[in-house]
Structure 1
Amino acid sequence: MQSPEAKLEQLGIVLGEPKAAVANYLPYVISGNQLFISGQISMGADGLVHGRLGENMTTEQGQAAARLCAINLITQMKGALGSLDRVKRIVKLGGFVNAAPDFVEIPQVINGCSDLMVDAFGDKGRHARSAVACPVLPLGVAVEIDAIVEFE
């Protein structure tokens, strides 16, 4: 079985340094054998991905933004646990999409994150999830996603 880090490398994904919190909260908290990761926003090497789905972004652009959130979540996992091999299960994702009032493809947008979790972690990446629309997100980003992860 291939490690999550090897799978990410095959996908051309290089994990950088975990992002610091931008306000009065911690990037993650460990309680027992669970890792609670604060919301990770759609930010990549080129900066923040701003926009509102159904207004000035397509579903596909939203999925790409959600994938950036997944990369940032995985980066936090590695920073907190030292190795992605310690991940026992992605338990739950909470997805938030900056969306126009009539945009209804919220689950499809968050699939951009969910799909990468399964690609990286296999069956351990299958998770429970919520996906909701918001009229605005911090810093005007398109997507924000948080996670609960079980580890050993």
Structure 2
Amino acid sequence: MFGADKGTPSVLDGRKLSIGIVQARFNEAITDALFDACLAELLALGVQDKNIAHVKVPGALEVPVALQAMAERDDFDALIALGCIIRGETYHFELVANESGAGVTRLSLDYQIPIANAILTTENLEQAIARQTEKGRDAARVAVEMAHLLQEIG
């Protein structure tokens, strides 16, 4: 399945994969668009709808704990984190961005499960809107690719 460079899949095939998605509700118009693009791409890659679990949490800081609950179930080949953090006038942006990102990374390493991190961190709403569809699609492709890679290595 993997190309000559031993890292690039020749075909992203999600037919046999189970994927969990955690979506933050904060900035919901953006995260809904992220989810819609992600789901459409997962289905296009062959992931069966019945093998996609989707949960919503209040915000980006709550994403890691839901991902952890999914990782502990050991039912998923990969997970996806969806959220949107837009810079405001306070330090809160940095706190949320840094802590949610660190939590997602730690869980991926601790549980040895690929987690596609599509928690957008943008300066303004316009940047978030410009990225929402492509980042949703990217998250789906990353999840499928990394699930296969870890299966091959494992």
Higher relative contact order (CA 8 A, sep 6+): 1
TM-score in same-fold range (> 0.5): no
Q: Higher strand share goes to which structure? A: 1
TM-score (norm 1): 0.36
TM-score (norm 2): 0.35
Q: Higher helix share goes to which structure? A: 2
